[in-house]
Structure 1
């Protein structure tokens, strides 16, 4: 009895200590007098995420509720105190002016135990700075121009697949075909491998890409805790990437590097540039090559294919916009001898307006994340961002703010005419971030998206069909902005003069 009594006493004491700790922990913003919603253990202010709500819906509701309360609001990202930025000048300072204090994202990575997490998107501090400096030249306009013919050849295959599909059934689920297109583009440019997923939907790379998003080692709750306490998770040697995914991408990179070096193979692709860095004086390790290839593949295929799908969806609903864009595409083909060239792509101004409006309305990455190295005072002495606190800049909510973009649900590329751009604050369009830590692959994403859409719109017209969802329903299980159940459009073959 004595032993069981002691055990019950210790257990009760432990529970009491934990309860007290979390009461104190969740009063973080209350003690500072910062407006916030009451958190719920263990989800913080993310209750229902992935089940009843998407992150973008949670953040948009929060933004609308508190945006006029001050420069930022308090938030709990699972167990992690965070701030949500409302003031655009403050957002600009965080991303650009005071970037040296906000260089880090504070995401989980574990290069020792989970090598594929040691990529540019997640790393912090000196590790990030050095890697960004090494990789930046690989995404120059000159390098993109060298890769252009490779991407264009995959675009021709995309045309063939659509042409064959229209013959069988004019209603096509475009999201899946576009994902296979970007898998083939990234597989070719990042790994130098002909993935063949356009011809074979069950190709190995296509399946591996889907698993990288769908398969995780842990439940959503454990994943949330890992990202709430990334330093602790790293010290404990926790791994995040599923073993099957890890084995596939590591094997592909190791075999590709070995084969190219052994046979002195050179190609105009990302892998070739990484191998050159690996063999340079301040080179990359093989694990670093694998990690950068991995994140380039994931970031490139999912974001671009999703954006292209949303663009075609809106063009099907807005035929006037589609016709104007097609006219510009045909004009560039005629101007450049009936071919789509790198220069033609860069002269497509209406395409740029259409894509910017697509990315405004459908922000694939809904929030930008930073963490200050030191405490950061704002213009209001009450509002101080404590060091290492997660900072969320709600890009999607800003993009849908009617005070910034009137009638935000309307698809209107004219919002991005030169005249309209001059009227808005520079930090009101953030699909690629801003400042020194913006998306390094911006040029590549633009290139594969413009090529894919130009080829499709030149040869096909897209219409609303009885299977087309309206409005689109977000996939709650995808952390990125994605449509549930695909995007079905009726596709009409056009005659080319």
Structure 2
């Protein structure tokens, strides 16, 4: 019995020392911080009572105006939240070399789909970014927009059938699902060269796999949290994040498409064509587990990883943005009317009223509406960076050690009433050129900024604008009996999502 008490005492003493050593970090650094709790740090209630945006809001309200940054703990991981817009500019742009990496999990050796541009680090990221930048030029986006317009025609047909069926339910339509099917078909076509047919069949395989990425995890929540907060250790342990069947599905999709196009000399001017041009002549470029060497081109695994992240980022973010936009237009009929009038005016000058890349560029009010949607509903609640060496914070005595996670609270900045008066009001005039010019450039970050901003932002905007344009020409969106005002936002997904979908009344024009 005595030995049991002694062992218990030793365990408690070691736990106390560990707790004090870890959670006294910010106090030792002299950086203002919110007091953490054992093990959970400052993340108490995450996913059940709070979302990341809620936890960041608490930090933001507590420290904004008092200090440019504040310390917290993402479970056991030290994290600094930056609230000062000038310092955010330093981190994302001016001092980018200190903050090149996101600290995201990647393990291309064992989990090939994680070897994509979003999560790669150091020279591997720099080399991949350099390879892929020419893929997203305005000329290449213009070519791909033709594919998107064709899928847009299918979106109109699908919505028309849905509206006719929905008449028995007073015209109520769940908007997010049909928008997600549209973007799934777009990205499936552009990134994988496949006719996914999810607009015709909601249960199509590509749509099912797309949902699976977000809804079915390889690991339980505790291990997911470990992967999120200990990415480098998880990589050393050779852990994986994606279920094997998901990996095999996307690998096979790319492999089959590449083989078919090479064998039959087929070109479609889409994303997969660009990847084929970057491919390696053989698999020696893989580096055999010793890092990624892109000097000889992309391997099949690397091509699949880029196509995969293009799919994940492209279908989820754009479909959510379109859904939130249509929701706000349903609540603001005057804005919806003005957008529709602009679309009709611009397209009256194109041959056959067809939507073209150049015509979309003339829809400036639609641009403002889209920008205000992304302001009010940023899909990523925060941006993360990680220090790759010691960093002296300008105009302070603060020093950030190597491997410190940096969090930039995008959602909270976008809802700051000192930056955007009445932040819950949907007001596209915030993005008139005069208003944009007098606002701090870091006050709007839906796509990040600096060298590590979203490489596909122009494609994402074009995809959303085409989807919105084809729908608003043919349909009027309003409030149904099932429309939530305000929307109930989910807590479990890292990206911005609703708890119960988005239901609107849709009528043919």
Distance 1:13 1:265 in 2: 69
Q: Which residue of 1 aligns with 2:393?
A: 378
TM-score of the superposed pair, with normalisation by structure 2: 0.94
- Please, which of 337, 359, 368 is the counterpart of residue 383 of structure 2? 368
Q: Which residue of 1 aligns with 2:58?
A: 61
The Cα shift of 1:270 comes to 0.7
Q: Which residue of 2 aligns with 1:139?
A: 136
Q: Is the 8 A contact 1:325 1:350 kept in 2?
A: yes
Q: Is the 8 A contact 1:79 1:225 kept in 2?
A: no
Q: How is 1:185-224 mapped onto 2 (pairs within 5 angstroms)?
A: 185-224=186-225
Q: Which residue of 1 aligns with 2:362?
A: 347
Q: Is the 8 A contact 2:280 2:299 kept in 1?
A: no
Q: Is the 8 A contact 2:29 2:399 kept in 1?
A: no
Q: Is the 8 A contact 1:35 1:69 kept in 2?
A: no
Distance 2:297 2:11 in 1: 50
The Cα shift of 1:39 comes to 1.6
Q: Which residue of 1 aligns with 2:232?
A: 231
Report the more deviating stretch, 250-259 or 312-321: 250-259
Q: Which residue of 2 aligns with 1:289?
A: 303
Distance 1:371 1:279 in 2: 31
TM-score of the superposed pair, with normalisation by structure 1: 0.96
Q: Which residue of 1 aligns with 2:285?
A: none
Distance 2:8 2:256 in 1: 53
Q: Is the 8 A contact 2:80 2:407 kept in 1?
A: yes
- Please, which of 90, 98, 102 is the counterpart of residue 105 of structure 1? 102
Distance 1:430 1:265 in 2: 38
The Cα shift of 1:375 comes to 1.6
Helix, strand or coil at the partner of 2:348: helix
Helix, strand or coil at the partner of 2:20: helix
The Cα shift of 1:238 comes to 1.1
Q: Is the 8 A contact 1:148 1:342 kept in 2?
A: yes
Distance 2:401 2:151 in 1: 48
Does residue 314 of structure 1 match 2:311?
no
Q: Which residue of 2 aligns with 1:116?
A: 113
**Per-residue deviation, residues 333-357 of structure 1 (Å, max 9, x unmatched):** 1021311111001111101100110
Helix, strand or coil at the partner of 1:328: helix
Where structure 1 has 5 or more consecutive residues not aligned to the other structure, the ranges are none
Does residue 482 of structure 1 match 2:483?
no
Q: Is the 8 A contact 2:42 2:74 kept in 1?
A: yes
Q: Is the 8 A contact 2:176 2:323 kept in 1?
A: yes
Distance 1:282 1:125 in 2: 18
Where structure 2 has 5 or more consecutive residues not aligned to the other structure, the ranges are 282-294
Helix, strand or coil at the partner of 1:489: strand
The Cα shift of 1:79 comes to 1.2
Size of the alignment, in residue pairs? 491
Q: How is 1:82-481 mapped onto 2 (pairs within 5 angstroms)?
A: 82-169=79-166, 170-279=171-280, 282-337=296-351, 338-481=353-496
The Cα shift of 1:10 comes to 6.0
Q: Is the 8 A contact 1:71 1:383 kept in 2?
A: no
* Inter-CA distance 36–176: structure 2 relative to 1 (3 Å threshold): same
The Cα shift of 1:61 comes to 2.3
Report the more deviating stretch, 41-50 or 426-435: 41-50
Q: Which residue of 1 aligns with 2:288?
A: none
* Inter-CA distance 236–453: structure 2 relative to 1 (3 Å threshold): same
Distance 2:268 2:8 in 1: 63
The Cα shift of 1:12 comes to 5.5
**Per-residue deviation, residues 270-316 of structure 1 (Å, max 9, x unmatched):** 11111110147731111111111111110000000000000000000
Give 4+ residue runs of structure 1 displaced > 4 Å after superposition.
7-12
> What's the Cα RMSD here?
1.6
Q: Is the 8 A contact 1:249 1:294 kept in 2?
A: yes
The Cα shift of 1:378 comes to 2.0
Distance 1:266 1:10 in 2: 69
The Cα shift of 1:264 comes to 2.2
Q: Is the 8 A contact 1:78 1:225 kept in 2?
A: no
Distance 1:208 1:22 in 2: 41
